[in-house]
Each structure stands twice: as C-alpha cells, then as structure tokens.
Amino acid sequence: MSSFLTSKLDHLVPYTPGEQPKDMKYIKLNTNESPFPTSETAQRLALEAASNLQLYSDPECRDLVNTAAEYFGVSTDQIIFTNGSDEVLNFAFMAFCENGAVFPDITYGFYSVFAKLNGVDFKEIPLKQDFSVDINDYMGVNKTVFLANPNAPTGIALGLDDIEKIVKSNPNNVVVIDEAYVDFGAESAISLINKYDNLLVTQTFSKSRSLAGGRLGFGIGSKALIRDLNTIKYSTNPYNVNSMTAAAGIGSLIDDEYIRANCEKIKENREYLVKELKKLDFTMTDSTANFIFAKHSSISGKDIYLRLKEKGVLVRYFDKERLKDYTRITIGSKEQLEVLIDKLKEIIKELL
Ligand code: PMP
C-alpha cells in the first residue's frame, strides 16, 4: 500500500478471482465459464464492430437494449447494460444501500467487497445447516437485500414464490436478485418487475451465453431504479460497454437456439457428474447452476483441489470454515468431466 491511499480504503481486501495459471494447459472447471464457444453470430457481429473502434461506443447501447427488451418482454427503459453483472451489482451497492445491506454468509464473495468499497454497513445472515436460505430471515429486514438465485457456491435456488414474498415484505428497500446462473434451471424474477418497483434483477452473458471475456451484464427493474443506475453509470463511465461486446450481445440473443441447446447440455452433464460423483462417495447440494458443490466422505476439499490441480484440472476451493470440506466444480463438457472423474478415481486410490 502506498502512503497516498485514502484511509477509508486502506483495509479493503479485494475479491479474489478464480486462478488462471499459465504454467500448463489445465481443464478449467473453476470459474463457471461455459465450455462452449461464443455463438457464431456474436463472433461475426463483434468482428464487424471491430472495424469501427475509432468511435466511442453508444452509451445507451440502443441496438442491444432494443433487442434485449424485446427478448425479455420489458420496455427499453427497464434495462441497463453494464461491464459484466459485477458492475451493475456495484452500482446497486452505490445507489440503494443507505440503510445498509443484508445477504447470506455464504454467497458470492463480491457482495461484501462492494459493500466495503462503498462504505455500506452490511449484515451476513447464516444459511441454514443444509446451505439453503431461510426466507424468514429476509422478511421486512429494512435493509437492501442481495440474493444470488441460484446461490453461489451452493447452486441452491429459491422458488419464485419465495422470492416474491421477500420482495413484497421489503417495500421500502430494494431487493436485488442476482440471476447469474438462472438459465441452468431456476426461475427468473423478471416476470415480477412490473408488480414491484423495489425489485432489481441482474443477469450476465458470462455463463449461459459464453461471453465471459466480453464482459456483459445487465439489470432489469422499474424505470425509476434503472434511471438511478444510469445516473451512476453516467457519473462513472458512460462507455462501460464497448462496441464489440454490445454487438456480440445482440448476436448471442439472435442465436438463442444455440444458447438454449448449450444450457440443456449443461443440465445433462450436471446429471452425469452428480451420478458419477455419488459412486465415488461424494455428497452434494442440489444445484440448479452450471456448477456443483461437492464434498467427499473422507478427503478434504483442499486435498481434492490441490491433487486435481497437480493433475491438470482446476476446481474452486474456499478456505472458509463451513466450506472447507467442499469443492465447487464447474459443469464442463462431457469430455472434460470424464477426465475429472478419472483423475478423482486416481486421487481416491492414492489417498485411501
Ligand atoms: N453473480 C454471481 C453469483 C457470480 O458468481 C458472478 C461471477 N463471478 C457474477 C455475479 C458476476 O459475473 P460477471 O461480472 O461476469 O457478469
């Protein structure tokens, strides 16, 4: 730290992104990326946009907003695009958390970082023993609620009825539902936005839409909420979505059949992985995401993670008391998962 850093940030511990080691070629099952290539239309439109980079990108992302508004059945002033959904989440912490924020103790690690960065008081509410959210903990909390649905790293989702109860019981506070993983089997709360003006739904193109490197996310909510978020966007970086990414986003929405087919493959592969891991004595949460959260009966999460890494497979391990028996494994292609299973069999042989 330099002596120039503002004192209000000198204790900030940044978010740790999933590792991307370059010492060998790994099978990457650690950052919940898609194993499938970016759609062809997305690639083509991004390339076309690349020939005009002398111009600033459109701050309103008009073409993308029009395409997405139609796709999601909302009006164009109910949606904002950002540089990954991380950015819209950060904007929400900046904009809506005067009374503080609440979120589960086990959830997306960036929430507490954003809260600290923005000087927001926050309370982490423990998940139940089985890692599920007790919705009673979020009734009328009088603070801004952040819930990943499905949650990460557990993959467990709340139903739309439960989400609605939480939104309804907090009319004076924004409820942010982070649907980064919704396309792999959970129900979206976008259908509720015209009913509740305190609901903000965020989603990303990073997972189901194979555009993690493009950095594209968005928020959908009432016009007033979106206007507030735009005030922040225009006060920080109006050109937050670059032209190539905006074009790729349109391509991805056009190629929706390809995206849906990929989501179905991920669901099939998830079923396959669950079945195979059970045979190897793993237990896991009931995930509706593109990852599973699994624990071996006698080998620690850290040992699984380290041994797999030695063998060229990356998974995510969290060095936190309640999580340390687990590893989070991204659902890759069938071929990647077959290698993972083979390596796990070797590890079990070596250690037991
Ligand atoms: N929410 C959750 C729960 C996530 O796991 C992630 C991915 N790390 C994000 C949001 C942000 O994803 P992105 O910025 O790539 O849209």
Residues 6+ apart with CB under 8 A from 12: 113, 116, 117
Q: Which of 31, 34, 85 to mutate to test the pocket of ligand 1 (most atoms within 8 A of CB)?
A: 85
Tell me which residue of 83, 78, 134 sits closest to 104, measured CA to CA: 134
How many angstroms separate the CA atoms of 293 and 274, rounded?
A: 10
For residues 329-350, give the mean pLDDT. Answer: 98
* Residue 179 Cα to ligand 1 middle (Å): 9
Confidence grade of residue 128 (pLDDT, cut at 50, 70, 90) = very high
Quick check: 217 pLDDT over 90? yes
Quick check: 5 pLDDT over 90? yes
How many angstroms separate the CA atoms of 314 and 335, rounded?
A: 15
For residue range 256-273, what is the model confidence (pLDDT) as tens digits?
Answer: 999 999 999 999 999 999
pLDDT the model gives residue 146 = 98
For residue range 76-127, what is the model confidence (pLDDT) as tens digits?
Answer: 999 999 999 999 999 999 999 999 999 999 999 999 999 999 999 999 999 9
Ligand 1 atom closest to residue 108's alpha carbon, by position in its atom list: 3
Contact between 146 and 176 under an 8 Å Cβ cutoff? The reply is yes
Ligand 1 atom closest to residue 178's alpha carbon, by position in its atom list: 1
Q: How many other CB atoms are there within 10 angstroms of residue 227's CB atom?
A: 12
Quick check: 18 pLDDT over 90? no
- pTM for this predicted structure: 0.97
Strand partners, 314: 28
Identify residue 50 by its one-letter amino acid code. Answer: A
Residue of minimum CA distance from atom 7 in ligand 1: 180
* Residue 346 Cα to ligand 1 middle (Å): 32
* Residue 10 Cα to ligand 1 middle (Å): 25
Ligand 1 atom closest to residue 207's alpha carbon, by position in its atom list: 15
How many angstroms separate the CA atoms of 183 and 262, rounded?
A: 10
* Residue 31 vs residue 16, higher pLDDT: 31
Tell me which residue of 56, 67, 115, 69 sits closest to 226, measured CA to CA: 69
* Residue 201 Cα to ligand 1 middle (Å): 13
Ligand 1, pocket residues at CB < 6 Å: 84-86, 108, 148, 152, 178, 180, 204, 206, 212, 217
Q: Is the dihedral of CA 175, 146, 178, 240 positive or negative?
A: positive
Q: What is the 3-state secondary structure (H, E, C) of 292-318?
A: EEEEECCCCHHHHHHHHHHCCEECECC
Contact between 205 and 217 under an 8 Å Cβ cutoff? The reply is yes
For residue range 36-50, what is the model confidence (pLDDT) as tens digits?
Answer: 999 999 999 999 999
pLDDT the model gives residue 163 = 98
How many angstroms separate the CA atoms of 203 and 188, rounded?
A: 10
Residue 122 vs residues 96, 141, 299: alpha-carbon distances, Å: 13, 12, 34
Tell me which residue of 143, 208, 130, 191 sits closest to 169, measured CA to CA: 143
Confidence grade of residue 6 (pLDDT, cut at 50, 70, 90) = very high
Tell me which residue of 291, 257, 42 sits closest to 152, measured CA to CA: 291
* Residue 349 Cα to ligand 1 middle (Å): 35
Quick check: 250 pLDDT over 90? yes
Q: What is the 3-state secondary structure (H, E, C) of 96-144?
A: HCCCCEEEECCCCCHHHHHHHHCCCCEEEECCCCCCCCCHHHHCCCCCE
Residues 6+ apart with CB under 8 A from 118: 90, 93, 94, 97
How many angstroms separate the CA atoms of 91 and 71, rounded?
A: 24
pLDDT the model gives residue 256 = 97
Residue of minimum CA distance from atom 3 in ligand 1: 108
Instruction: Count H helices and E strands in the chain, helices first.
Output: 10, 12
Q: CA dihedral defined by 41, 60, 70, 212, rounded to 10 degrees? A: 40
Q: Which of 24-28, 198-202, 279-283 has the lowest mean pLDDT?
A: 24-28
Identify residue 122 by its one-letter amino acid code. Answer: F
